[in-house]
Chains A and B, each alone.
Chain A
Amino acid sequence: MIEKLTLDINGEQWVATVRMADTLLDVLREKLDLTGAKRGCENGDCGSCTVLADGLPVKSCMMLAVDAIGKKLTTIEGLQDTPMQHAFVEKWAFQCGYCTSGFIMNAHALVNQHPDATDEIMEEWLSSNICRCTSYQEIREAVKSVLKEQRFDRKRPRNRR
């Protein structure tokens, strides 16, 4: 079965003709040229294909595209100048960059869902992704710096923003 389906990606409607067996990752990359999500294992193990579905990280290699209909999808291409991207740059939280899209998507969702994330929650979330270049310490520092910044922002009086 091949069908035309409409996906809500980064706030836009995208139409693609897909095989029902195509994964969301296949469709993002091959039909829509949104190649920020990477094929690292296509087996749900490495997290480099992570995108957000209704604000929650999912591994797009393990999700059928047809299953994503009706969900608000966010890919790395949908992040514009976010604190997490800044933090990854400033803390040197990547080297080759291949796992980076997935890591950032996960970390971005984490700080949104858990503005007060403890080390334990960070570990629970971020152990879903594999990075082979960094020591993870850089990623930890990046995520922590965003959490800290957010906390600071919340404490500041509204009118100053």
Chain B
Amino acid sequence: MLHFNFDYYRPSSIDEAVELFDKLDQDGKKPIYLSGGTEITTLGRLNQVFTKAVIDVKGIPECNVLDYKQDSVVVVGAALTLTQVWESKILPLLGEACVRIGDRTSRNQITLGGNLASEIIYREAVLPLLLSNSTFVVAGIEGIRQLSVHKIFKEKLRLKRGEFLVQIKVDGKYRKMPFYIEKKRKSERVDYPLITLEALKVDRSIRLAISGLCAFPFRSYEMEKELNNTDISIEERIDRAILRIPAPVISDIRGSREYRIFVLRNTLLDALIYLGGVRA
């Protein structure tokens, strides 16, 4: 039950969408884009989101693309649901991150774009996209931009006013690379993460991205560097990597800072063993 009402628009093209936004914004409607609609219905009822107009991007064909051709680029539309991304098996690295978000029924509604642009701090779908140096396709009144994930996703999705996420693109080579993913929760199988950790092995080195540990999801080159230092023992690598966590580790109702680090340590160990064929 939302206590405020809004106007609803469902444009069928990118141009129509961005023009609508521009106009509604000028009219003071504080428009927002939506796709799955799960966040406006849940945060709206708690007064944490407010708008007088929503623009539903699900009707835009580019937002619904799911494409991969041999040796080329994987393209995933932002309006696809997490279930669709997972079931397509188009990019296991991404699918396995999506299937750990929320619960199954919610994943039938939450979209990839919705998770990436979420107000809630976890945004776990970005982990594989950080690891695979993906490209984000965003549309705005000035046209379409293609940007590296590292440029546009810094702690959260940094869109300009009036822009929305259309697609993400990932090099097809990442489809077959070995990766490790684990989501650790407080105790319940359906919950936000204590930490979600995804690691990808490219050639002989490991890339690492984590959600839930700090107030935002990140990929850390400093931590990767420590983990890839094969001169020292695996435990020492982990110890050093933990010293390189890029931001304060959070303490909240799901777990204390110390416990999160404890969980991280074990999960890193599992990841390294899994990807490295190392024995603990």
The residues of B that contact A59 with a CB separation of less than 8 Å are 38, 105-106, 109
- CB-CB < 8 A to B158: which residues of A? none
Residues of B that sit less than 8 Å from A by CB: 1-2, 4-8, 10, 36-38, 40-42, 44-45, 54, 56, 58, 83, 102-106, 108-109, 189-190
- Min CB–CB distance B79 → chain A (angstroms): 12
Taken together as a complex, chains A and B put the C-alpha atoms of A44 and B40 apart, in Å, by 11
Q: With an 8 A cutoff between CB atoms, is A50 at the interface?
A: yes
User: A-side interface residues toward B, CB under 8 Å?
Assistant: 1-2, 19-23, 26, 42-44, 47, 50, 53, 56-59, 61-64, 66-67, 106, 123-125, 127-129
Question: Is the beta-carbon distance between A61 and B105 smaller than 8 angstroms?
Answer: no
Name B45's closest neighbour in chain A (CB-CB). Answer: A42
Known: A44-B106, A53-B108, A66-B10. 19 other contacts (CB 8 A): A2-B5, A19-B5, A21-B6, A23-B2, A26-B1, A43-B45, A56-B83, A62-B38, A62-B42, A62-B106, A63-B37, A63-B38, A66-B8, A67-B37, A123-B189, A127-B189, A128-B103, A128-B104, A128-B106
Of A22, A47, A62, the contact of B109 (CB 8 Å cutoff): A62
- Residues from chain B with a CB closer than 8 A to the CB of A47 are 103, 105
- Closest chain-A Cβ to B102's Cβ sits at a distance in Å of 8
Q: 3 closest Cβ contacts across the A-B interface?
A: A128-B105, A20-B8, A128-B103
A57 to B83, CA, bound (A): 11
With contacts A56-B108, A62-B38, A62-B42 taken as known, whether A42 is within 8 angstroms of B7 at the C-beta atoms is no
**Are B104 and A127 in contact, with the CB atoms below 8 A?**
yes
A26 to B37, CA, bound (A): 15
Q: What are 12 residue pairs bridging A and B, where the CB atoms are less than 8 Å apart in the complex?
A: A21-B2, A22-B2, A42-B45, A44-B42, A47-B103, A57-B105, A62-B41, A62-B106, A63-B38, A67-B37, A127-B103, A127-B189
Write the chain A residue with the least CB distance to B83: A56
In contact, B38 and A44 (Cβ under 8 angstroms): yes
Q: How far is the CA of A2 from the CA of B6 in the complex (A)?
A: 9
Say yes or no: A63-B190 contact (C-beta < 8 A), given A42-B45, A43-B42. Answer: no
Chain A, Cβ-Cβ closest to B41: A62
CB neighbours (8 Å) of B38 from chain A are 44, 59, 62-63
How distant is B186 from chain A, measured CB to nearest CB, in Å?
15
Kindly state the separation between the CA atoms of A63 and B53 in the bound complex, as whole angstroms: 16
Do residues B105 and A23 form an inter-chain contact, with CB atoms below 8 A? no
Chain A residues within 8 Å of B108, by CB: 53, 56-58
Q: Which of A19, A44, A58 has the most CB of B within 10 A?
A: A44
State the main secondary structure of chain A at its contact with B.
Answer: mixed
B102: chain A residues at CB < 8 Å are 44
Q: Assess whether B106 is in contact with A1, with CB atoms less than 8 Å apart.
A: no
A26 to B10, CA, bound (A): 21
When distances are taken between beta carbons in the complex, the residues of chain A under 8 Å from B42 are 43-44, 62
How many Å from the CB of B120 to the closest CB on chain A?
12
A124: B residues at CB distance < 8 A: 104
| Smallest beta-carbon distance B242→chain A, Å | 31
- When the two chains form the complex, which single residue of A42, A53, A127 contacts B190, counting CB atoms closer than 8 Å? A127
Smallest Cβ distance from B18 to chain A, in angstroms?
20
Residues of B within 8 A of A61 (CB): 41
Complex-state Cα separation, A77 to B36, whole angstroms: 25
- Asked if A62 and B104 make an inter-chain contact with CB atoms under 8 angstroms apart, the answer reads no
- Taking a contact as CB atoms under 8 Å apart, the answer to whether B8 and A64 are in contact is yes
Q: Give the residue name and chain of the B residue nearest to A19 (CB).
A: B5
Given contacts A44-B41, A127-B190, A128-B103, contact A63 B7 (CB under 8 A): no
Cα A42 to Cα B37 in complex, Å, equals 13
**Cross-chain contact A58 with B105 (CB below 8 angstroms):** yes
Q: How far is the CB of B59 from chain A (nearest CB, A)?
A: 10
Q: With both chains docked as a complex, state the minimum distance between the C-beta of A101 and any C-beta of chain B, in angstroms.
A: 13
Q: Do A63 and B5 contact each other (CB < 8 Å), given the known contacts A128-B103, A128-B104? A: no
Q: What are the residues of chain B within 8 A of A57 when measuring CB–CB?
A: 104-105, 108
